[in-house]
Amino acid sequence: MRYLLVIPSIDIKDGKTVRVVQGIPELECKEYGSDPVEMAKIWRAENAKLLHVVDFDGAWEHSRKNYKIVEEICSSVIIPVEFAGGIRNLDDAKQIMDTGISRLVISTMALENPDEFKKVFETFGPQKIVTGLDILGNEIITRGRKRKTGISYKEFVKNMAVMGVERFIVTDVERNGMLKGPNLELTKKIALLTEKKVTHSGGVSNKDDLIEIQNLMPFGVDSAIVGRAFYENKFPCQRLWRVAESGIFN
C-alpha cells in the first residue's frame, strides 16, 4: 500500500522560525521558536523524511541573508531539504544549491522571467527543480504572495508540463495557515491538467484532512506540506510519518 508523504514546513523570517497567515506580510506573522536549525532537528527526531524550507526574506526582499541558516539545516539532518523563496536568476539558484538542498521550488521566476527559468531548469533538471503555484481564486500570485498577476493557472501549468516540469507544489493562498481544510478540488485539477506529480500545501488542520489528500493519490498527488497544524499540535506527529516511496523525489 502506498502512503502520502507528510512534509513539515519551516518558514524563516529574520533568521527565526515563523508561521505567516496566508503567506501575506500584512497579516499576522507568528514566531515559533527562534532557531530554524533546532526545529529541523526536532522534525527529524519525529522521523520526518523530507523538510520544506521557505525563506520569506528572500521572497519579499530578494535577500540571501538566510542562506547560511539553510546550509546549517542541510548539514544538521540526514534527510533531503526542499527550498523555496526569492530565487530570481541562475546565480541565485546556484548559490542556494551550494547550501546542500535537494530540491528547489521556483514560482515568480517561472512566470515573470521564463527565459531565465529555462536556464535554471536546463542546468539542474526536473529532479531538482519544481514549480510552486500560489493561487488565489484562479489567479497566480507571485513575489512572496504580494503581487497579483491576473494570469490563470490553467494555461501556465500546461506550459510548464510541456517544458518538462515533473512536480508542482500547489497552495491555495486563502487557506494557507488558516486551518480551514485543504482545497482538494484545486489540487486535483492541477494533477489532472498536468498529469504530473503534485504536492498539496495549505489548509491542513488534522489527520482527516491528510486522509482526504491521500485519497487523491491515484491522480498523482503523493505528498502534503503541513505547517501551522504541526506547530500547534493539532495531531500527534509521530503517527503520521510514512516511509517515502522510492520515487518520491523524482
CATH number at residue 68: 3.20.20.70
Residue 97 domain-assigned (yes or no): yes
Residue pLDDT tens, the chain, 250 long: 678 999 999 999 889 888 765 454 433 445 555 789 999 998 998 889 999 999 989 888 889 999 999 999 999 999 999 999 999 999 999 999 999 999 999 999 999 999 999 999 999 999 999 999 999 888 898 876 667 877 899 999 999 999 999 999 999 887 555 556 899 999 999 999 999 999 999 889 888 999 999 999 999 999 999 988 887 777 665 555 544 444 444 5
Catalytic residue among 11, 55, 92, 172: 11
Beta bridge partners of 28: none
Residue 247 domain-assigned (yes or no): no
Residue 29 domain-assigned (yes or no): yes
Residue 218 domain-assigned (yes or no): yes
Residue 48 domain-assigned (yes or no): yes
Domain boundaries, position 175: 5-240
Task: Specify the number of domains making up the chain.
Answer: 1
Q: Pairing between strand 5-13 and 51-55?
A: parallel
Q: How far apart are CA 83 and CA 87, in angstroms?
A: 10
Q: How far apart are CA 183 and CA 209, in angstroms?
A: 10
Catalytic residue among 55, 134, 172, 209: 134
Per-residue pLDDT, 150: 78
Contacts of 245 (CB under 8 A, 6+ apart): 2, 3, 5, 222
Residue 95 domain-assigned (yes or no): yes
Count other Cβ atoms within 10 Å, centred on residue 214.
19
- Active-site residue, 11 included: yes
